[in-house]
Amino acid sequence: MSAHENPDDQPGQDQITDQLLRRHMGYCMKRAYLTVETVVTGVLNAHDMRIPVYSALGIIVGNPRLSQTALTSALNIERSNTVVIVDTLENRDLIARNRVEGDRRAYALEATLKGQRLFKKIADEVAEKEGALQAGMTSKQRDALTSFLAAIEQGGTRPDAVD
């Protein structure tokens, strides 16, 4: 074991800085998201659920009888991946692939009662954990953050002014 002569307790290397990258919104956002993701994944793991599957369930619960193609575009993924996700949900009896009358190609996806209940339960747990991450923010600041994120997602539209 070697030098430790710096005043602060950093082993080996003096303070590392990422100030050059902090200039980038994407970098800051990814780091923040990583913290949120860790918390959310912890909740989902307890229900043997992963983020894409949970998201799909949420879309289906909120949009009864939508097709896999519609789900695909809502999730911004590819049809082929949607198939696997819907398989997962169907195998757990959280949703049903109902047939559409008038178009035998398509499914009308519908959450089962079990699926609706599980989604609500998880959503409440996630909301609680995410709330803790925002504990230092005021209600107005939380609304502002939501507004900023929505504006950026849309590619730079003016955010709804909150204050």
Residue 78's binding partner out of a copy of itself, DNA, none, with CB under 5 to 8 Å set by partner kind: DNA
**Contact pattern for a copy of itself over residues 75 through 104, marking x by CB under 8 A:** -x-------------------------xx-
35 vs 87 by CB, closer to a copy of itself = 35
Q: Which one of DNA, a copy of itself, none is in contact with 136 (Cβ closer than 5 to 8 A by kind)?
A: a copy of itself
Is the Cβ of residue 74 or residue 144 nearer to DNA in the bound state?
Answer: 74
Structure tokens at 82: 């949607």
Nearer to a copy of itself, 13 or 80 (CB): 13
CA distance 131 to 133: 5
Which residues sit at the interface with DNA, rule CB under 7 A? 2, 11-12, 50-52, 67-69, 72, 76-84, 86-87, 97, 102-107
**Residue 143 carries which side chain, given as an amino acid letter?**
D
Interface residue with a copy of itself among 27, 50, 87, 128 (CB under 8 A) is 27
Q: Give the bridge partners for 66, in sequence order.
A: 109
- Candidates 49, 53, 66, 89: give the one binding a copy of itself (CB under 8 A): 66
Kindly state whether residue 74 participates in binding a copy of itself, applying the rule CB under 8 A.
Answer: yes
Question: What's the CA gap between 104 and 125, in Å, rounded?
Answer: 38
Query: Under rule CB under 8 A, how many of the chain's residues touch a copy of itself?
Result: 71
